[in-house]
Amino acid sequence: MPHSMLGVSLAPPRWVRILGWFALLFLAVSQVTGFMISAPDRDMGTLQKIMYVHVPAAWTAFLAFTYVFGTSVAYLWKRDLKYDLLAAAAAETGVVLTGLTLALGSIWGRPTWGVWWTWDPRLTTTAILFMIFAGYLALRSFVEDDEQRARWSAAVGILGFINVPIVYFSVQWWRTIHQVQSTPATVDPLYKLGLRLNAFAFLFLMIFFIALRYHAARLERAAEARREEDALTEGTIHV
Amino acid sequence: MASELIRIRAMVWKDLTAERRTKANFNAVAFLAGAILLLFGFALGPDAAALEAAAGGMIWLTVLFSGVLSFNRSYEKELEGGALEALLLYPGDRRSIYLGKLIANFAFVLLVEAILLPAAAVLYDLPLHTMVLPLAGVLLLGTFGFVTLGTFYAAMASRLRAREVLLPLLLFPMLIPLLVACVEATQAIIDQDAMGFAGSWMKLLVVFDVVFFVAAYFAFDYVIEA
Amino acid sequence: MLAYLEDDLERARRSRAALPAGMPGSGTAALAHSPSSRQQPRMSNASLAIDLDGVARRFARRWVLRGVTLRVQPGEVVGLTGNNGSGKTTLLRIVSTLLRPTRGGGSVFGHDLVNDAAAVRPYIGYLGHAAGLYDDLTAFENLRFSVRMAGLDVGAGVLDEALERVRLDEFRNERTRGFSAGMRRRLGVARLLVRPPRLLLLDEPYASFDVDGITLVNELASSVAEAGGATLIATHDVARGRGVLTRMVRIVEGRLVQRTLDEEEAYLAGRPPAPPLEAEA
């Protein structure tokens, strides 16, 4: 395997590569299973199958942001930049997953209810979560100093995550006051199996993406560390 | 502990006095608030019923859009002459800086609201003077949460190039529960609904305020460092 | 250019000789022309005033300090010099805990700069380039704010006395907006008079000061040192610090080179310098 001179192998660690293939395979199997084993939904037909992506994406996004919270706390405690890189990788993954959730939710909602957006509590909370962590990523892009960026991101990540239950509760209550509409739920037990399978598939995918992104960040950091060292040792004392 | 109180008082006094002497900031914000109220009126149309139904929302959006301007400004004075570094060098808890600025910003936004509310009452024909007490409750709780998070995020945003964009971008999504609660409570009070609703939303506001005050207070130390 | 420097040094020597012995600021333990006759700093078991070990700091890609090792005993007044951009201000800011070092570390009076920064800050008095004033407040109000932010609540009398000593008393109630650079710095000195620090950090204190101001600064520097603290002065101007400095260090390519005052002046004057000693002490 090609090694850079940076002390970090250019290729991702073996477990990551294996996980990637496994996750892809698992996803394929789960999706196919989901399509085949449960009958088209009574009310929504084949469109319901979109739930096999939409719901797992939402769940894993939430997991990713929980991970951001954990690594942010770890950074402030240990001050090891590794935690900041992990947090950023997880945040990026989470933002992509929330974006996917929102897009799919919208696509599902259009034929179902005739509108592109429904203010459904979970969907709305997801949208807010998307904005909060998009802001997290935007902040990072403006701070140049590593250490300051890590500290500030950690603070923003922690506060942002704390808000999730509050947001969810307030949106849910707000909706109950103003509308009576409820999301039709599918009761088919086979549907639940498909959902669970896909949930795991997405979990593996999420871990893979975070690990891959973290690896890329480590490579960047190693390259920079090398440049740092070179710049530090060059130059002699002239008097 | 006593020394921290001295520090906090000094900070509050300094921010408010500097503000009072320039007045530039307060006047601008107050005028902007008035302008936004007008714009809302035009956007929603002259129908009195529609305006009254949307009054809670219009008032609080106006508070948010005009108030957000004051947060970055409260740090600008520190950034101009190297005063922030002087602040960071003083012995003592740096979180007292946060408390001082929070109190000063709180007073500032309350003052803007004191002008905004009568203006809204006039523009939208709302008998606000009959509901002063419950409204005051919502205003105090809502403004406190707003200022808690605004002061916190501005400590970061004000030191970056894109401060005008970054502060709203970071702050507004976080304020959504507060906005919902304030709008609902205010509207409930205006519509003379069962007090139960407004009361419950105010409980949510209390939770929001406490959670984020504690979180921001502890996180401030990490954020104000040079 | 050499002639200019020689003139400068000559003028400084002459003006120093003109000061009556015993006057504060004339650098008298004895009216010394060479640093060796100045009182040696106490070598005691007390913690070092400054103890830096391999401090390095970079900004983005550029290393400003590459490994600074410095030990300052209580009682010393150390001059820090170097070309523009050499890192003098950065070093001062690290010692004051405003900046964290990228590598290495250190302590001030036994308290670690990184892990125990809050304990370091009470020792520090800093007079930097920017005065850190609020232009909508008066001189008196600015001074009072500073003192209160240090957690102290002193009476107006003490503040007025300090203003008087720095000759700003007639501007007491004027907003600092219109103040010149020299006046701002004098207000900074007033702060340090009200709350004398144990470790005094001065960044180019002789710039924008007249003779009286310079005397004030030097008085402050030596009184801090004499009280058991230490002073670190970043300056180009060795001559003006002649009276108070006990030794010089120069930042070259991000590291420290130790010199005596005579060597430093010789270097500035362009004469071949004595072989430099690696920074230690």
pLDDT tens for each residue of B187-211:
988 888 765 788 889 999 999 999 9
Examine the predicted complex and report whether its ipTM is higher than 0.85: yes
pLDDT of residue A6: 57
Strands C255-259 and C277-278: antiparallel
Strands C277-278 and C111-112: unpaired
User: Above 70 in pLDDT, residue A238?
Assistant: no
For residues A125 and A118, give the distance between their C-alpha atoms in angstroms, rounded to a whole number: 12
* Sheet containing C62-72, strands listed edge to edge, beginning at the edge strand earlier in sequence: C62-72, C50-59, C103-108, C111-112
Summarize the confidence of residues C153-179 as an average pLDDT.
Answer: 93
Give the closest-approach CA distance of A212 to chain C in angstroms. 26
CB–CB of A121/A182 below 8 Å?
A: no
Name C119's Cβ contacts closer than 8 Å, sequence gap at least 6: C111
- Is residue C120 a part of any domain in this protein? yes
Strands C111-112 and C62-72: unpaired
For residues C40 and C42, give the distance between their C-alpha atoms in angstroms, rounded to a whole number: 6
User: pLDDT tens digits, residue range A198-208?
Assistant: 899 999 999 99
> Which residue segment(s) compose the domain that C93 sits in?
2-16+31-128+200-278
A43-57, B23-37, B151-165, C14-28: range with highest mean pLDDT? B151-165
CB–CB of C73/C246 below 8 Å?
A: no
What is the CATH number for C56? 3.40.50.300
According to DSSP, residue C48 is labeled P
pLDDT of residue A42: 58
For residues C55 and C48, give the distance between their C-alpha atoms in angstroms, rounded to a whole number: 16
Give the three-state DSSP class for B221: helix
- Is residue C100 a part of any domain in this protein? yes
Give the closest-approach CA distance of A139 to chain B in angstroms. 7
C36-50, C62-76, C234-248: range with highest mean pLDDT? C62-76
User: Above 80 in pLDDT, residue C110?
Assistant: yes
- Is residue C147 a part of any domain in this protein? no
Residue ranges of chain C whose CB lies within 8 Å of a chain B CB: 93, 96-99, 118, 121-122, 124, 126, 128-137, 141, 145-146, 148-153, 175
For residues C256 and B192, give the distance between their C-alpha atoms in angstroms, rounded to a whole number: 75
DSSP string, C134-168: -TTSBHHHHHHHHHHHTT----HHHHHHHHHHTT-
Q: Which residue has the higher pLDDT, A139 or A225?
A: A139
For residues C137 and C13, give the distance between their C-alpha atoms in angstroms, rounded to a whole number: 41
Helix then strand then coil, % of chain C, to nearest 5: 35, 25, 40
Residue written as tokens 């949510």? B204
DSSP string, C51-86: EEEEEEEEETTEEEEEEEEEEE-TT-EEEEEESTTS
- Is residue C236 a part of any domain in this protein? yes
* Sheet containing C230-234, strands listed edge to edge, beginning at the edge strand earlier in sequence: C124-127, C199-203, C230-234, C77-82, C247-252, C255-259, C277-278
Summarize the confidence of residues A153-181 as an average pLDDT.
Answer: 88
Chain B CB contacts of C133 below 8 Å: 81, 83
In sequence order, the β-bridge partners of residue A3 are A9
Weakest mean pLDDT among A176-190, B4-18, B34-48: A176-190
User: pLDDT tens digits, residue range A20-30?
Assistant: 999 999 888 88
User: pLDDT tens digits, residue range A82-99?
Assistant: 999 999 999 999 999 999
| Mutate: best of C124, C144, C148, C191, partner B, most B CBs <10 A | C148
pLDDT of residue C82: 87
For residues A66 and A62, give the distance between their C-alpha atoms in angstroms, rounded to a whole number: 6
CB–CB of B138/B182 below 8 Å?
A: yes
Residue ranges of chain B whose CB lies within 8 Å of a chain A CB: 149, 152-153, 156, 160-162, 166, 169-170, 172-174, 176-177, 180-181, 184, 197, 204, 207-208, 211-212, 215-216, 219, 222-223, 225
CA-based Rg of chain A, rounded to a whole angstrom? 22
Give the three-state DSSP class for C106: strand
Weakest mean pLDDT among A74-78, B98-102, B156-160, C208-212: C208-212
- Is residue A72 a part of any domain in this protein? yes
| Mutate: best of A136, A166, A167, A175, partner B, most B CBs <10 A | A166
pLDDT of residue C63: 87
Name B203's Cβ contacts closer than 8 Å, sequence gap at least 6: none
pLDDT of residue C4: 34
Tokens for B199?
């009361």
Chain A CB contacts of C66 below 8 Å: 232, 235
Q: Which of B128, B140, B129, B221 is nearest to B182 (CA)?
A: B140
> Which residue segment(s) compose the domain that A126 sits in?
48-180
Chain B CB contacts of A154 below 8 Å: 222
Q: Which residue has the higher pLDDT, B15 or C40?
A: B15
User: Above 50 in pLDDT, residue C35?
Assistant: no
DSSP string, B93-145: -THHHHHHHHHHHHHHHHHHHHHHHHHHHHHTT--GGGGHHHHHHHHHHHHHH
pLDDT of residue B94: 93
For residue C5, name the pLDDT band (cuts at 50, 70, 90). Answer: very low
Q: What is the domain count for chain B?
A: 1
What are the backbone dihedrals phi and psi of residue C137, each rounded to the nearest 5 degrees, phi first?
Answer: -105, 155
Chain B CB contacts of A84 below 8 Å: none
CB–CB of C146/C184 below 8 Å?
A: no
Tokens for A92?
């990026």
CB–CB of B40/B183 below 8 Å?
A: no
In sequence order, the β-bridge partners of residue A41 are A45
According to DSSP, residue C242 is labeled T
For residues A110 and B220, give the distance between their C-alpha atoms in angstroms, rounded to a whole number: 44
Name C103's Cβ contacts closer than 8 Å, sequence gap at least 6: A232, C54, C55, C56, C57, C67
Q: Which of C253, C119, A155 is nearest to A147 (CA)?
A: A155
Name A149's Cβ contacts closer than 8 Å, sequence gap at least 6: A84, A140, A143
pLDDT of residue C7: 41
User: Above 50 in pLDDT, residue C111?
Assistant: yes
Q: Which residue has the higher pLDDT, C185 or C46?
A: C185
User: Above 80 in pLDDT, residue C6?
Assistant: no
Give the three-state DSSP class for B91: coil
pLDDT of residue C25: 38
For residues B73 and B66, give the distance between their C-alpha atoms in angstroms, rounded to a whole number: 12
**Helix ranges restricted to H, chain B:** 2-22, 24-44, 48-80, 83-89, 95-123, 132-157, 163-190, 195-224
| B83 φ/ψ sector (left φ>0, alpha ψ -120 to 50, else beta) | alpha
- Is residue A195 a part of any domain in this protein? no
Name A123's Cβ contacts closer than 8 Å, sequence gap at least 6: A101, A102, A105, A117
Tokens for B176?
């959504």
Give the three-state DSSP class for A10: coil
Tokens for B216?
């921001």
User: pLDDT tens digits, residue range C243-279?
Assistant: 888 888 998 888 888 877 777 777 777 755 556 666 5
According to DSSP, residue C47 is labeled P
Query: With the C-alpha atoms ordered B76, B78, B84, B87, is the resulting torsion angle positive or negative?
Result: negative
Q: Which of C163, C108, C178 is nearest to B89 (CA)?
A: C108
Q: Which residue has the higher pLDDT, B117 or A114?
A: B117
Q: What is the domain count for chain A?
A: 1
pLDDT of residue A85: 96
pLDDT of residue B146: 98
Asked if B43 reaches chain C (Cβ–Cβ under 8 Å), the answer is no
CB atoms within 10 A of CB B20: 10
> Which residue segment(s) compose the domain that B153 sits in?
2-224
For residue C29, name the pLDDT band (cuts at 50, 70, 90). Answer: very low
For residues A62 and A104, give the distance between their C-alpha atoms in angstroms, rounded to a whole number: 16
For residue A44, name the pLDDT band (cuts at 50, 70, 90). Answer: low
Residue C131 and residue B81: Cβ atoms within 8 Å?
yes
A20-24, A152-156, A165-169: range with highest mean pLDDT? A152-156
Mean per-residue pLDDT over chain C, rounded? 80
pLDDT of residue C40: 41
Give the closest-approach CA distance of C218 to chain A in angstroms. 28
Q: What is the domain count for chain C?
A: 1
For residues A212 and A13, give the distance between their C-alpha atoms in angstroms, rounded to a whole number: 9
| C197 φ/ψ sector (left φ>0, alpha ψ -120 to 50, else beta) | beta
Give the three-state DSSP class for C116: coil
pLDDT of residue B184: 92
Mean per-residue pLDDT over chain A, rounded? 85
- Is residue C191 a part of any domain in this protein? no
For residues A186 and A45, give the distance between their C-alpha atoms in angstroms, rounded to a whole number: 11
pLDDT of residue A235: 56
CB–CB of A151/B223 below 8 Å?
A: yes
User: Above 90 in pLDDT, residue B155?
Assistant: yes
pLDDT of residue B194: 62
Strands C199-203 and C230-234: parallel
- Is residue C169 a part of any domain in this protein? no
CB atoms within 10 A of CB A15: 11
What is the CATH number for A119? 1.20.120
pLDDT of residue B11: 96
